[in-house]
Amino acid sequence: MLVGFNNVALIGALILAFVVGDSWYAQEKNQGPRLFRTALCELPEFRDFVLYTLENRNHQFVFQGSSTQWLNTKQVLANADTTDCDDQNMIAATDVLISGFPMERMFAWMNVNHKVAKEVIQGFQLVERLYSWSIGLLVACVLVAMLGGATCALTPSSPIVIKCQVPLFFVALATLLAGLAVFLEAHNRCLYGMSSFFSFSNQDSRLLVAAILIFPLAGAACLAGWCSSFAAQKGHGVPATMALCPGIYGLWPGAEDTVMESGGSNSKMTLEMDC
């Protein structure tokens, strides 16, 4: 149990240090392009403001890809109400407009028109909330694991200690996994939210990786751990129905008196009971 607490605390502390450093990428000045793309797609008032601002800056609204390829970004924005955000012309127009738009004016416009942009702002700030939750969960994980490890190290070995600490160990493990999952979601929102190819990157880099690699490996590891725990606990005298629960060995009366002796090709179990 002590080793388990120490491992969880160490892993949680290492991830926490990385999350705190990575959370600076969620700072709004670094995430301006992400907010610009969302607002340009969803807010007609913001599209009018973008056109007004860029016209005053003598921005070139026509993108020329070749001698025969032209894209009028003004026309694209005029039709944006009936165009999907993943439309290739809309994405291209956004790339053209974002290069000449001053981001500080966007934040000023958002504050002046907060009622209009409230939902967009809340969605933009979700990344900051996710990072905060991730840091909070990881801090809780490290604290619980450190206190649990200290308790196991400073007190004599006793069933009552295990009964109290096993639930806390699973709490520490759950907060570690939850904090890691929330961090990955926040990191991905920051990373892909500024991409011109968001929908493609989201599918290839998140959904496929999770479906093909992460979930199968995690499921196999959990199944292997559960099966080995079940076999070991059942071999030490815990009833099969109770051995299905990992960690129940230390809570089951008399299980600690069951000893498994192995020799050569024969194995036998002797039950030593104090009368």
Q: CA 5 → CA 8, 121, 173, distances in Å? A: 5, 40, 9
Print the domain residue range for 105.
32-120
Model confidence at 2: pLDDT above 80: no
Residue with tokens 């949680």: 12
Q: Are 12 and 142 in contact (CB under 8 A)?
A: yes
Task: State pLDDT tens for residues 148-170.
Answer: 888 888 877 777 777 778 888 88
Asked if residue 80 and residue 146 are part of one domain, the reply reads: no
Asked if residue 127 and residue 230 are part of one domain, the reply reads: yes
Asked if residue 185 and residue 157 are part of one domain, the reply reads: yes
**Residue 146: HSE in the Cβ half-sphere, 13 Å Cα cutoff:** 9
Evaluated on CA atoms 15, 16, 17, 23, the torsion sign reads positive
Instruction: Supply the pLDDT for residue 138.
Output: 95
- Report if residue 262 sits inside a domain: no
Asked if residue 133 and residue 16 are part of one domain, the reply reads: yes
Kindly state the tokens that stand for 261: 């002796």
Q: Which one of 120, 143, 174 terminates a domain?
A: 120
Q: Which residues pair with 72 in a beta bridge?
A: 62
Asked if residue 178 and residue 84 are part of one domain, the reply reads: no
Q: Which residue in 113, 91, 119, 102 sits closest to 50, CA to CA? A: 102
Q: Which residues pair with 69 in a beta bridge?
A: 66
- Report if residue 91 sits inside a domain: yes
Asked if residue 215 and residue 177 are part of one domain, the reply reads: yes
- Report if residue 71 sits inside a domain: yes
Instruction: Supply the pLDDT for residue 45.
Output: 92
Model confidence at 37: pLDDT above 50: yes
- Interatomic CA distance for residues 33 and 37, integer angstroms: 6
Kindly state the tokens that stand for 218: 């995690």
Asked if residue 237 and residue 179 are part of one domain, the reply reads: yes
Share above pLDDT 70 across residues of the chain, in percent, rounded to a whole number:
77
- Interatomic CA distance for residues 154 and 162, integer angstroms: 13
Model confidence at 12: pLDDT above 90: yes
Share above pLDDT 90 across residues of the chain, in percent, rounded to a whole number:
21
- Interatomic CA distance for residues 200 and 189, integer angstroms: 14
- Interatomic CA distance for residues 218 and 265, integer angstroms: 34
Asked if residue 214 and residue 128 are part of one domain, the reply reads: yes
Q: What domain count does the chain have? A: 2
More confident residue, 188 or 271: 188
Phi-psi region of 246 (alpha: psi -120 to 50; beta: other; left: phi over 0): beta
Q: Which one of 120, 136, 151 terminates a domain?
A: 120
Q: Are 69 and 76 in contact (CB under 8 A)?
A: no
For range 116-133, the mean pLDDT: 90
Instruction: Supply the pLDDT for residue 240.
Output: 64
Q: Are 54 and 97 in contact (CB under 8 A)?
A: yes
Asked if residue 187 and residue 158 are part of one domain, the reply reads: yes
Asked if residue 237 and residue 157 are part of one domain, the reply reads: yes
- Report if residue 266 sits inside a domain: no
Instruction: Supply the pLDDT for residue 273.
Output: 35
3-class SS of residue 266: strand
Instruction: Supply the pLDDT for residue 145.
Output: 92
pTM passes above 0.85: no
Q: H or E stretch including 263?
A: strand 258-263
Q: Which one of 66, 88, 120 terminates a domain?
A: 120
Q: Are 2 and 162 in contact (CB under 8 A)?
A: no
Range with the lowest mean pLDDT among 14-23, 44-53, 221-230?
221-230
Asked if residue 7 and residue 137 are part of one domain, the reply reads: yes
